[in-house]
Structure 1
């Protein structure tokens, strides 16, 4: 199944976290890839997934982070 890419590069917390939570709940059967720039938002999103016992792979690019959420 094709992964879902959520572009949050223009968002900051709390909206970035809220959108990530909503899309995670809607993408249970597929891989979720989150693009984000804001470091504190990235940390909050990763912490949320860790509390859900969901594995997140983090890649850093020159201008943003990629969070690959494995359902």
Structure 2
């Protein structure tokens, strides 16, 4: 189970990117495996702490709801 500090690290990165970023960008900025980033992001999406939108083969992550 990801810790609260894991969630905070993802939020910090998203805020530094203006509130949204591609998941791969988050992966490149954090010293975790792709699997851990994916697990943390999925848990945050399920709990409403961020929004994950699948676009093609990539995920766009956002602190605000994404409406297309």
> How high is the TM-score relative to the length of structure 1?
0.38
How does the TM-score come out when normalised to structure 2? 0.39
